[in-house]
Amino acid sequence: MATPKKKISRSRRNMRRFAAGNALAKPTVVTCPACSEMTRPHRVCACGHYDGKAVLPSKKAEIQA
């Protein structure tokens, strides 16, 4: 079995992992149909809408009041 002659440093190991495509992917975002704000899918928007329906009181209205 092959064995390395020298220890691979953490930096060199991590650089190899990054180059292999293991970097973090961009988060998926969708546009809220009620307020046109970008949000994560399957989550309640800041305006309080989910799946086109108002489910919570608006956080923006609370901040402005």
Residue 7 within a domain: no
- Dmax (CA) for the chain in angstroms is 70
Is 0.75 surpassed by the pTM of this model? no
Residue 15 within a domain: no
Distance separating alpha carbons of residues 54 and 50, to the nearest angstrom: 6
1-41 pLDDT, tens digit per residue, is 889 899 999 999 888 887 767 667 788 999 999 899 999 99
Contacts of 17 (CB under 8 A, 6+ apart): none
Residue 11 within a domain: no
If one counts the domains in the chain, the total is 1
Residue 40 within a domain: yes
Residue 57 within a domain: yes
Domain that holds residue 40: 26-65
